[in-house]
Amino acid sequence: MPSALSGSTPAEDPGASQGAERLTIGQVLDLLRPDFASITIPKIRFLEDKGLIKPERTASGYRKFAPADVERLRYVLTMQRDHYLPLKVIGEHLDAIDRGLEPPPIEPTVPTVPTVALSGDGMPAAESFARRDQLRLSRRELIKVAEIDEAMLEELEEYGLVAPRTGTQHYDTDALVIAKTAHELAAFGLEPRHLRAFRAAADREVGMVEQVVAPIRGARDAAARARADETVNEIAALSVRLHATLVKAGLGRS
């Protein structure tokens, strides 16, 4: 991790920038943004709310970040971006570091087609919904990797199951997983037209989740967006678990 601290942003507190060893939240943002383009002040405040960082406060309540706080933020953001660890696990790592221990080793990431993160019981975990990779596949690449043909892709698009990313001609990880799953279902005689019910059910679940988080998104505090995203991920994982278990229970009665 870089040890030099630099950057210049208008101070959150007019007197906070006088201490050379302390930085304002804006200056911290300037330091982190070259390596973490999506970092925002609300995100930093959200991580503070979760107890992962504990910057000092001035008498007037403004945050003052020490170099150790910045390095701690770098660790959290790196574990999220490169290893997709949930905040709870990252917090356990930081606790170990605080107590003079070494955090558990992290398996190196391999540049390959991403897979959906699953929890121990095979169900998607909340962090799998938070994951946003940069995979971009051309139409030809999607057909090859998903092992489908042009005709099937056209059917998947016709029934609203797969589409290029908005404003582009490229397909993302979700499109790949859907296409591969449709290919596997086709072996049992289930064609894309049979899968429209899944699309409709998913749309209904999305609408339900959005209703739940709407009040959180409308909150005035700066960390509301981050809290809303966390809530969406948790509810999504739970709804998938419930759906899968209901199907399993129903099949068990037949």
CB neighbour burial string for 96-120, b if at least 16 within 10 angstroms, e if fewer:
eeeeeeeeeeeeeeeeeebeeeeee
Q: Are residues 43 and 143 in the same domain?
A: no
Query: Does the residue 4 lie in any domain?
Result: no
Residue 8 has pLDDT above 70, yes or no: no
The per-residue pLDDT for 80 is 86
pLDDT band at 130 (very low <50, low <70, confident <90, very high): low
Question: How many domains in the chain?
Answer: 2
Nearest to 194 by CA among 228, 235, 161: 161
Q: Are residues 67 and 146 in the same domain?
A: no
Average pLDDT of the chain is 81
DSSP state of 199: H
Query: Does the residue 240 lie in any domain?
Result: yes
**Structural domain of residue 192, as residue ranges?**
139-253
What pTM was estimated for this model as a whole? 0.51
Q: Which of 65, 98, 131 is the last residue of a domain?
A: 98
Nearest to 30 by CA among 21, 39, 20, 42: 39
Query: Does the residue 42 lie in any domain?
Result: yes
The per-residue pLDDT for 153 is 95
Q: In this structure, are residues 44 and 67 in contact, taking their beta carbons and an 8 Å threshold?
A: no
The per-residue pLDDT for 131 is 62
Q: What is the domain-level CATH number for residue 36?
A: 1.10.1660.10
Q: Are residues 183 and 246 in the same domain?
A: yes
Q: Are residues 145 and 228 in the same domain?
A: yes
Q: What are 212-237's pLDDT values in tens digits?
A: 888 887 777 767 777 888 888 888 88
Q: Which of 48, 76, 98 is the last residue of a domain?
A: 98
Q: Are residues 150 and 88 in the same domain?
A: no
pLDDT band at 11 (very low <50, low <70, confident <90, very high): very low
Query: Does the residue 107 lie in any domain?
Result: no
Q: Which of 43, 77, 98 is the last residue of a domain?
A: 98
Q: What are 14-24's pLDDT values in tens digits?
A: 444 444 588 99
Query: Does the residue 2 lie in any domain?
Result: no
Query: Does the residue 165 lie in any domain?
Result: yes
Query: Does the residue 235 lie in any domain?
Result: yes
